[in-house]
Structure 1
C-alpha cells in the first residue's frame, strides 16, 4: 500500500475565541496550510488539545476539516483514547465523515502491556476500512509500542503507518529493520526531520508545520532528492523549530498561529499561554525569520 502522504503532515492547532472553537479561523488556517504545501492535515491530535474538546467539538472540527480540505490533501483524524470502545466510536465516525485515515495514540493513564496494545489496536482496525497510523509518544503516555509489536500490528491490512515520537533514532532503526517496506514511518519530532528521512522515513507529522509547512516540505524533498543544501536549509529553520519547543506543546506554537491571524492566543486549562516576555520573544524571532524566507 502506498503511503497516506509523503512529506509534511501538520498536527493542527485548534483555534479558540472566548473559549469557544473558532471555526472560521480553523477554515482559514486549513487554506493557509494547503496553499503553503502541507501534504496532510491531522485534526484532533495532541496539538489540537483534543483532551479538552467536547465530543461535539471533536466531530464538528473533523466535519469542517474534511469539507474545507475538499480532497485536496488527506485528512487524518486523531481518534485514539484510553478507551477502546470510545476509540472505535470516533474512528467509525471519522470514516463516515470522509476522513482519509485515523491516528491512534497508545492508551494513557490506564496504559497497557504489549498484548493489550495488540488487542486494542486490532479491535479498532477491525471496525473500520480506512488506513490507521499508530502513534508512539512515550513522553506523554509513559509507555512505548515495542518494535516487535509494531511488526505484529503491521500485518493488519488497515494498519499502515507509525508516527514515531519516541525521539530515539535507534528505535526508528529497529522498527524499520522489522517492518515491510510498504509500512510507513512518520517522525513526530520536528527537530530530527533530516536524520529521520535519511533513515527511510516517509515524512513528519509536524507541530512547527502549523506556521512553516512549505519550508519543512522543502527540506523533506531536498533530503529525498539527495540535495546537499537540504541540511543547511533545515539549520536555517531551527530558530523557529526551537521556539515552539520552549514549553509544553501546543503552548508556544499557538502564539505563532495567533500571530498569523488563526484565532486568538488562547488555550484551554490546564494549559496556559506563555508569559508575555516569552511570547514576545518567540513572535519576534518568528517575524525576523519571515523577513528572510525565500519565496
Structure 2
C-alpha cells in the first residue's frame, strides 16, 4: 500500500461563529489549504477541539470537508477515543461518509498497557477496514506506543502510519529500524522539528500552523536543499504561537484570515488582548519576510 500522503497534512481547526460551527468558513478553508499545497486534510483531531464537538457536528464537519474537497487530497479523520466501541462506531460513520483514513489516539485517562494498546487498535482496524494512522502524543495522554508495539501493529494490513508527537529522535530511529518504511509512513506531529525529521527519513508532517501558512510548510518538504532557510521564518512564528496551548493561538491567526470568529469552546479560553497583539505582530512580520 502506498503512503496515504507525503509532505504536509494539516490538522484543521474548527471555525466557530457565535459558538456554532461555521461550515462556510470550513469550505473556504478547504480550498485555501489545497490551493496552497496541502497534501492531506486531517479532520476532527486535537486542533479541531474534538472533545468539545458533539457527534452530529463531527459528522457534518467531515461531510462538509469531503464535499468541498471533491477528491483532490486524502481526508483523514480523528475517530480515536479511550472507548474502543465508540471509536469503532465513529470510524464506521466516517467510512460511510467517505473518509480515506482514520487517525487513532492512544487511550487517555482510562489507560492501558502495550497489550491493551494492540488489542484496542487492532479491534478498530479489523472492524472498520480503513487505513489507520496511529497517533502517539504522550504529552497529552500520558501514554506512549513503544517501538516494539509500533512494529507489531505495522504488520496489520490496515495500520499504515504513525503520527509521532514525541519529539524524540531516538524513538524515531528505533521505529525505523523495526518497520518497513516503504509501506509504513512516519509523520511528525511537531511543527518545530520538521527539518530534522524530514532529513532523517520522515515522510511528512501533520501540522497545526499550516492552517494559516500551508505553502511555507510544504516548501520546507519539497525543497530539500534549502529546508533550513525556508524554516527560519516559520520558526520565529512558532515561538510566538507557543504563548498558549494548541489550538488557542492558531485559531486567532485563522480568524485574522477570515476563517470564523476568534472563538474557542470551554474549557479553552481565548488569548488576552496583549497576547493577541504580540501574536498578530509576529504573524505580520512572518508574512512580510516570506513575501519579501
TM-score (norm 1): 0.97
267, 271, 281: which one aligns with 1:284? 281
Q: Matched residue of 2:290: which SS?
A: coil
2-structure distance, mates of 1:48, 1:149: 27
2-structure distance, mates of 1:243, 1:126: 42
Q: Matched residue of 1:76: which SS?
A: strand
1:3 aligned residue? 3
2:180 aligned residue? 180
Greater shift, 242-251 or 158-167, is seen at 242-251
- Structure 1 stretches of at least 4 aligned residues deviating more than 6 Å after TM superposition: none
| Deviation (angstroms), 1:129 | 2.2
1-structure distance, mates of 2:256, 2:277: 10
Greater shift, 245-254 or 284-293, is seen at 284-293
2:211 aligned residue? 210
Across the aligned residues of Structure 1 and Structure 2, the Cα RMSD in angstroms comes to 1.0
| Deviation (angstroms), 1:244 | 2.1
| Deviation (angstroms), 1:256 | 0.3
Q: Is the 8 Å Cα contact of residues 133 and 163 (structure 2) preserved in structure 1?
A: yes
1-structure distance, mates of 2:24, 2:233: 32
| Deviation (angstroms), 1:243 | 2.1
| Deviation (angstroms), 1:283 | 1.1
Q: Which structure 2 residues correspond to residues 107-186 of structure 1 after superposition, within 5 A?
A: 107-181=107-181, 182-186=183-187
Q: How many residues align?
A: 291
2:77 aligned residue? 77
1-structure distance, mates of 2:143, 2:93: 27
Q: Matched residue of 1:166: which SS?
A: coil
2:271 aligned residue? 274
2-structure distance, mates of 1:35, 1:160: 27
| Deviation (angstroms), 1:130 | 1.7
Give per-residue Cα distances to partners, 1:126-180, cap 9 Å, x unaligned.
0122210000000000010000000011110000000000111111111111111
- Where structure 1 has 5 or more consecutive residues not aligned to the other structure, the ranges are none
Greater shift, 172-181 or 140-149, is seen at 172-181
246, 266, 270: which one aligns with 2:243? 246
Give per-residue Cα distances to partners, 1:31-63, cap 9 Å, x unaligned.
110111111000000000000000100111011
1:260 aligned residue? 257
| Deviation (angstroms), 1:280 | 1.1
Q: Matched residue of 2:103: which SS?
A: strand
Q: Matched residue of 1:178: which SS?
A: coil
Q: Is the 8 Å Cα contact of residues 233 and 289 (structure 2) preserved in structure 1?
A: no
2-structure distance, mates of 1:246, 1:186: 24
| Deviation (angstroms), 1:209 | 0.6
1:194 aligned residue? 195
2-structure distance, mates of 1:279, 1:111: 36
Q: Matched residue of 1:270: which SS?
A: coil
